[in-house]
Homo-oligomer: A and B are copies of this chain.
Amino acid sequence: MIGFQDARTMILDAVQPVGRITVALERSLNHVLAESIIAAENIPPFDNSAMDGYAVRTEDLQRTPCMLRIVGEVAAGGVAPKALQPGEVMSIMTGAKIPPGCDAVVQQEWSESPDKTQVNITRRVERGHNIRPAGADIHRGATVLEPGVRIRPQEIGVLASLGTQFVEVYRRLSVAILATGNEIVGIDKPLADAKIRNSNAYTLAALVEELGCDPLALGVARDDRDELKRKITEGLKADLLVTTGGISVGKYDLVMEILREIGAEVKFWKVNIKPGMPLLFAVHGVKPVFGLPGNPVSSMVTFLHFVKPAVRRMSGEKTVDTGYSLHAKLEHEIKKIDGKRHFIRGILESRNGALSVRSTGPQVSNILSSLTKANCLIILPEEGVQFRAGEDVEVELL
């Protein structure tokens, strides 16, 4: 049995980013950037006004109030009709280009204009007042985004502001999903005696979709050597294969055997966690294979903690963690004696301004319905035995 961190390290060491493609900017959301973005333009491209008001020459404002001549108007997108001469101002809008000769903008509120030809400026301002200089946001030549960043709406905004029409990103992964077991029946079939529905494949396909990957549904393989071998071989055409079931200690658990038979290297089997202990990780050439336990909760918990980081790394993402961890006050005592790392389905709430968390109830690993009540997982580390009410525990948002 391997430890949680060791298992993750082994997985991240075994996988590598897949190929790159170029996509249109509007199709790049949730992809991972594969190139450095260097600014070819200044943002903003020119000095512009931060306010509606008057473009002035500060040397004209030695004494205020002072009456100055309005010689034009600059709207956003427009160009000043001329340069400002001593004693002259122009009316200017937010975002408009600063006219030549102007070195500050006095906001509307600090002026009184008796008619369209003149304005009384009531306050003196410093040079540069209300001027947003060219390149203040992004300097031409600066590295704006590094490869390995997942593209969010704000990254798209920055790329658009730089006039980027096409972006080099890592391509979407295909993730094959195979449910195994004689007891598993598809949702479109009648439920015969002693059978249960294939729920894992649907949960996993949705998790894969949430990660921006294409799920490849292989359906259900019976506990039959030939059928399993055929479907596993099929699944290895995807970038990553996830199976569920068939990896605990029962006689009908053939997945590991077949993986070895077709030349996969089993990196580990069993991790010191609960639920999800009988997790299997193997590689076939460069293709990672995860054998997730058949219990629905174990299957989802192991996907989130082991498959997800692998997918993120293979999608080109540099960091697979958030960089912060959340903590909350435990509402009731939890005991455990097995020395495992526990993931407890939890309900996180704010109480008196602090985060508070409680378990959704019984934690047996086939109770998937409890995951629909949960908005987090409570993480109890390996070494703990008794976690008291009021104690601080780590939580992970779902």
Contacts and interface: CB of A to CB of B under 8 A. Distances in A.
Contacts of A181: 76-77, 95
B182 A250 contact: no
Given A50-B364, A296-B161, A153 B194 contact: no
Contact of A183 (B77, B164, B191, B194): B77
Nearest to A200: B157
B194 A250 contact: no
A26 B202 contact: yes
Contact of A187 (B96, B149, B155, B165): B165
A1 interface: no
A108 interface: yes
Number of copies: 2
Contacts of A217: 26
A184 B78 CA distance: 11
A12 interface: no
A93 B202 CA distance: 24
A5 interface: no
Given A93-B252, A144-B369, A350 B364 contact: no
Given A182-B76, A248-B94, A350-B323, A368 B197 contact: no
A325 interface: yes
A388 interface: no
Contact of A324 (B152, B162, B322, B349): B349
A326 B184 CA distance: 41
B137 A368 contact: yes
A197 B372 contact: no
Interface string A237-261: 0000000000011111000000000
A235 B94 CA distance: 25
A160 interface: yes
Contacts of A194: 46, 77-79, 96-97
Query: In which size bucket is the chain A interface?
Result: 35 or more
A188 interface: yes
A43 interface: yes
Contacts of A64: none
Given A76-B182, A183-B77, A205-B26, A366 B152 contact: no
Contact of A349 (B159, B250, B323, B364): B323
A202 B160 contact: yes
Contacts of A326: 326, 355
Contacts of A46: 193-194
Interface in A36-50: 41, 43-46, 50
Contacts of A322: 375
Given A163-B187, A187-B163, A371 B157 contact: yes
A132 interface: yes
Contact of A75 (B210, B223, B325, B327): B223
Given A46-B194, A76-B181, A79-B194, 5 more contacts: A50-B366, A132-B364, A152-B372, A154-B368, A157-B203
